[in-house]
Chains A and B, each alone.
Chain A
């Protein structure tokens, strides 16, 4: 079979041009800059620089603070992804069963979607303020010696809580539409085949939601890695002692606050490679177990 080949025209290239330009200007060019910068050592005033090969990488990546940020990022991302997916799934399944006032429930649960991460961070900041924060007072009132300014676990708790709260609504919307995409008759057939609703969920509903879950997992890991910057910047700013530094926040801190452009660039190059590896792993191994 020979495929029909139409005459070439320049119009398709014009259509993709804006996208290509955006990728080049906002991704490829900065990425190339970062790679170039990561081999340079600059003085504090930015007047002179010198080519130092991999010294920036060695200095930053093997430093204790980078390793701390890396391990916090892993734990933080795992917690945020798992918790926000689990809570959203539970809410979606329950909201899907509601018959009376269903749209009110759903709208209320989607509310937080409209809130930008920095705003969520600011709200969290107020709620955890030692002087006027209700949650701060509540935790102390129930006997938890809570102080996120000093205790690294408490600080981690605050950022995870805010990040999860912000993300649940997004996941909820997708899970709900995923649930509504399951044919009604399949649900009914399973009701006649299986008495236990718990078992029905894990054998029918959950496997049929797998494509949605996989998609959301990718989205959520990306969110936890990058978008939570706004939350951390408005709440803990990596305190206490860098305990809540994510890799992205540390890149920003070292580059713009610490004026270490070379080290910061080296970190962002490493981060790029990590994300690349993560994407490969996700699509290679997890997608195989997903039924479309």
Chain B
């Protein structure tokens, strides 16, 4: 049960590149925090700074009120699961799991007991005497988790642990990780670029962009109330529909498309309207005429993609919308659908700053 606190944490590389630009965060005991963001946003760097694998240029990281900036990785009482497992290839599964304990001078019987216990929990008890190269990807990932679990650390760190697994296994392991974390109740930080993983695992989600926390909160809160254009477009699958527009005092205008129901927006700036695909509905008086381009059948529902006729174009491309409909909605390709939306639930952003206006 440990708290983690980050205070104005910064990372600047010797060549001047800034990977992390001032992160403040408080993580409660037993909380499952997910860092999510596009590749190169600094999320892994931030995690590695907590692990001690990356030096901290500025700011402080505390675990349970103990400053760990200059504590060696082995003494921070954290355990990490790596993307490519990072198992010791010359040791058996048992050797891999007990290595950290041996180096901490734990008595043999105790190590054996802990390894056996963890192996049972992860269902790898039958493989304890095998070498890592005799295991499948999923089994290796379990061993890597076992290596972290036996240490009984204050904090678990996961660096994209599922990205090397196939899709089916990924879903299985995702559920297993969540279950394990609940059961052991250890504070965890998990890095991923996969927003589904982030949404399903996190107690709280930190969306990171360009070295800064864009927004932090519960997954559903971030989905419903994104603070910026970036968060809105990053969270949610399929992605939110975005339409460039301006405000003329009464309507949001995008080319020939005029949308009523908006007030109190600046008239002089470029805006972006955001509507989730499931917020659209068929409506004979709808404001969006959509030319159907592709229909994806996902089983329970269909995703219908198409260009909005008459809307402002971004470059050469037509503004394309995605409309989430039931499985019996199968429009002809190239036909035109009339779509309506609820202005109350739509989001409007400042195009320049990405700031949410309503």
Residues of A with Cβ closer than 8 Å to B?
183, 185-186, 188-196, 199, 203-204, 207-208, 210, 291
Contact of A191 among B53, B79, B88, B90 (CB under 8 A): B53
Q: Is B83 a contact of A185 with CB atoms below 8 Å?
A: yes
Stretch of B68-76, B269-277, B307-315, B340-348 lying at the A interface:
B68-76
Q: Which of B52, B78, B80, B90 has the most C-beta atoms of chain A within 10 angstroms of its own C-beta?
A: B90
Q: Is A189 a contact of B80 with CB atoms below 8 Å?
A: yes
Given contacts A185-B83, A199-B103, A203-B99, contact A192 B88 (CB under 8 A): no
Give the A-B pair count, Cβ closer than 8 A: 62
Q: Is B88 a contact of A186 with CB atoms below 8 Å?
A: yes
A200's nearest neighbour on chain B, judged by CB, is B103
Given contacts A185-B83, A185-B84, A188-B53, contact A193 B89 (CB under 8 A): no
Contact of A194 among B84, B87, B100 (CB under 8 A): B100
5 tightest Cβ-Cβ pairs between the two chains A and B: A193-B100, A185-B86, A195-B74, A189-B86, A194-B103
- Some 7 contacts from A to B, beta carbons below 8 A apart, are A185-B83, A189-B86, A189-B87, A190-B88, A191-B72, A191-B73, A193-B147
Q: Is B82 a contact of A195 with CB atoms below 8 Å?
A: no
Q: Is A183 a contact of B99 with CB atoms below 8 Å?
A: no
Q: Is B99 a contact of A186 with CB atoms below 8 Å?
A: no
Given contacts A186-B88, A208-B90, contact A195 B80 (CB under 8 A): no
Cα-based distance from A211 to B321 in the complex (angstroms): 57
- Chain B positions 146-201 with a Cβ under 8 Å from a chain A Cβ: 147
Q: Is B84 a contact of A193 with CB atoms below 8 Å?
A: no
Min C-beta distance of A175 to chain B, whole Å: 17
Q: Which residues on B sit within 8 Å (CB–CB) of A194?
A: 74, 99-100, 103
Q: Which residues on B sit within 8 Å (CB–CB) of A192?
A: 51-53, 73-74, 78-80, 100
- Residues of chain B at interface, number, CB under 8 A: 23
Known contacts A188-B51, A189-B87, A195-B72; 17 further A-B pairs (Cβ under 8 A): A183-B86, A185-B86, A186-B87, A189-B80, A190-B99, A191-B53, A191-B72, A191-B73, A192-B51, A192-B80, A192-B100, A193-B147, A194-B99, A194-B100, A195-B103, A196-B103, A291-B90
Cα-based distance from A250 to B82 in the complex (angstroms): 58
Q: Which residues on A sit within 8 Å (CB–CB) of B85?
A: 185
Q: Which residues on A sit within 8 Å (CB–CB) of B88?
A: 186, 189-190, 204
Q: Which residues on B sit within 8 Å (CB–CB) of A291?
A: 89-90
A190's nearest neighbour on chain B, judged by CB, is B88
Min C-beta distance of B17 to chain A, whole Å: 16
B78's nearest neighbour on chain A, judged by CB, is A192
Q: Is B86 a contact of A195 with CB atoms below 8 Å?
A: no
Min C-beta distance of B129 to chain A, whole Å: 15
Convert B135-152 into 0s and 1s, putting 1 for each residue whose CB lies closer than 8 angstroms to a CB of A: 000000000000100000
Cα-based distance from A188 to B75 in the complex (angstroms): 14
B131's nearest neighbour on chain A, judged by CB, is A291
Given contacts A191-B53, A192-B51, A193-B99, contact A183 B74 (CB under 8 A): no
Q: Is A193 a contact of B82 with CB atoms below 8 Å?
A: no
A194's nearest neighbour on chain B, judged by CB, is B103
